[in-house]
Amino acid sequence: MAGAPSAVVVGAGIVGLSAARALLAEGYRVDVLEQGPVPNAHGSSVDSSRLIRHTYGTQHGYAALVDDAFAAWDRLWDDLGRSYYTQTGTLVLSRPGATWAQDSAATLDRLAKPYRVLSPDEAARRFPLLNLEGVERVYWVEGGGVLAAEPIVDDLARRLRAQGAAITAHTAVTQLDPEAGRVRLEDGTRRTADLLLVAAGPWTGRLWPDLARQLTPSRQLVCYVDTPDDLYAAWRRMPMVLDIADAESRSEGSAYAVPPIGGAPLKLGDHAFSLTGDPDTDRSPAEAELDRLFETTCRQLATPARYRLLSGRTCFYTVAPDSRFLHRRAGRAHALAGFSGHGFKFGPLIGERFAELAAGRLEEGTFQAWLAGNG
């Protein structure tokens, strides 16, 4: 590939690796730099699961992109030689005072996506593992499912190496020179490229100070739960469960449940952003906060006393205004940021569109509007 344009990608999460894959297809020589191991357990992309679904509240633009995202994932599965997606369906609970479920149904109507409205009694008969006390109605959507996040990142990195990309772990970037197309590494050495891409999650603002004012790291906690043996098979047939309150709602909490897929345990989490924390230091969940999360999220379950907390972990999202994805450009450098906990599902699609921008087939304003869910 002598004479081919070069690209340095900072960050080996789903967005960075997906962009690297698409840039390789455009003929770039690609070097991915990751400050930790690959996959990096501290990265926003690495966990047992990430969800993909059309239920999106009032964010119609992102909901409309989900079909394109599924198609991009299918192209990735073809490249990897296997799929890491399991369709589960989506169950959305609606409580008094919260509108997210109804807003999601309105968005599904707008997109002509089918769903069923279940009464609490009908839902209780169909999904007896759940505690539906206080739920007004339930929306059942057949589509949606679970992406095995960590295996995806691991396999994609292996595939990129086999295709000729350099993926360098334990190599932190400390400084960015956009005009020169240069990054400075922790050991003092420098790398120069025709194109730089910063896809560093909650660390992006440190390399791109102008973005720091728009990006808020958000420490999120999840817990993994031991399922009673006699309920395990039923849980494996369960859909994802979204019990999401609105910021202005008086309803208590915003929880979700991910069924045990691919050998992973049942996963419970709080959907609300914490908007606090330092991604370098606030990594280990305290026993007391895990216990609180377990107690709160187990309220979704019909027999919570039968479940046992196994473990928990922290993940850092990077929240932008209105939870919209951001692109910035300066000189030879680009940043993709602000994925606000819902960017993983779009990773391969974002990588493909970014490569179109890099190749000159997509105007910058058009790409930015599309990325913000306005395209």
Please answer whether residues 79 and 162 qualify as being in contact, where contact means their C-beta atoms are separated by less than 8 angstroms: no
341-366 core/surface letters (b: 16 or more CB in 10 A; e: else)? bbbbbbbbbbbbbbbebbeeeeeeee
| Residue extents of the structural domains in the chain | 6-47+150-214+322-371, 84-96+115-147+218-319
CATH architecture assignment, domain 6-47+150-214+322-371: 3-Layer(bba) Sandwich (3.50)
The token pair at 42 is: 């501290």
Answer whether residue 339 shows pLDDT above 50: yes
Kindly report the CATH class assigned to 84-96+115-147+218-319: alpha beta
Q: Extract the runs of DSSP E, i.e. beta strands, from 55-136.
A: 85-87, 90-94, 116-118
Cα end-to-end span (Å), the chain = 34
* Sequence letter at residue 151: P
246 has a pLDDT exceeding 90? no
CA 122 to chain centre: 32
pLDDT tens track for 47-93: 999 999 999 999 999 999 999 999 999 999 999 999 999 999 999 99
Point out which residues pair with 92 in neighbouring strands: 139, 242
Reported as a single tens digit per residue, the pLDDT across 251-272 is 446 899 999 999 999 999 998 8
Tell whether the model's pLDDT for residue 241 goes beyond 70: yes
Q: Which of 32, 4, 3 is nearest to 16 (CA)?
A: 32
Nearest of 202, 228, 227, 225 to residue 215 by alpha carbon: 202
- DSSP-derived secondary structure for 183-233: EEETTS-EEE-SEEEE--GGGHHHHSHHHHTT-EEEEEEEEEEEPPHHHHH
Mean pLDDT of the chain: 95
Give mean pLDDT, residues 268-286: 92
Mean pLDDT of 149-157: 98
pLDDT, mean of residues 314-323: 94
Kindly report, residue by residue over 218-240, the tens digit of the pLDDT. Answer: 999 999 999 999 999 999 999 99
pLDDT exceeds 90 at position 26? yes
Instruction: Sheet with 145-147: list strands edge to edge.
Output: 50-52, 145-147, 85-87
Identify which of 90, 49, 33 has the alpha carbon closest to the alpha carbon of residue 315. Answer: 49
Query: At 1, is the pLDDT very low, low, confident or very high (cuts 50, 70, 90)?
Result: low
Q: What is the spatial distance between Cα 348 and Cα 80, in angstroms, rounded to a whole number?
A: 12
Spatial contact of 101 and 91, defined as CB atoms under 8 Å apart: no
In one-letter notation, the amino acid at residue 104 is S
pLDDT of amino acid 216? 95
How far is the C-alpha of 333 from the C-alpha of 212, rounded, in Å? 16
Quote the pLDDT of residue 266: 98
Packing angle, helices 100-111 and 60-80, rounded to 10: 70
| Confidence band for 250, pLDDT divided at 50, 70 and 90 | very low
Give the pLDDT of residue 253.
Answer: 64
| Among 356, 368, 346, 352, CA closest to 69 | 346
Confidence at residue 254, expressed as pLDDT on a 0 to 100 scale: 84
> Over the stretch 158-204, which tens digit does the pLDDT of each residue have?
999 999 999 999 999 999 999 999 999 999 999 999 999 999 999 99
State the pairing for strand pair 85-87/216-226: unpaired
Alpha carbon distance 145, 295 (integer Å): 25
